[in-house]
Amino acid sequence: MTNDTTNDKRGPDGRFLPGNRPPRSPGRPPGANGVNARAAHLANERLEDFLGKAADVIDRALDEGDPHVATWVIDRIRPPKNADFVRIEIPSDLNTPQEAVQAAREAILAAGRGGVRSA
Summarize the confidence of residues 106-112 as an average pLDDT.
81
Tell me what pLDDT residue 119 has. 56
Tell me what pLDDT residue 4 has. 47
Summarize the confidence of residues 55-79 as an average pLDDT.
83
Top-confidence range, 6-10, 43-47, 79-83: 43-47
Residue 75: CA atoms inside 13 Å, Cβ hemisphere, count? 6
Summarize the confidence of residues 41-68 as an average pLDDT.
84
Tell me what pLDDT residue 111 has. 78
The whole-angstrom separation of Cα 62 and Cα 76 is 14
Summarize the confidence of residues 65-90 as an average pLDDT.
76
108: amino acid identity, one letter:
I
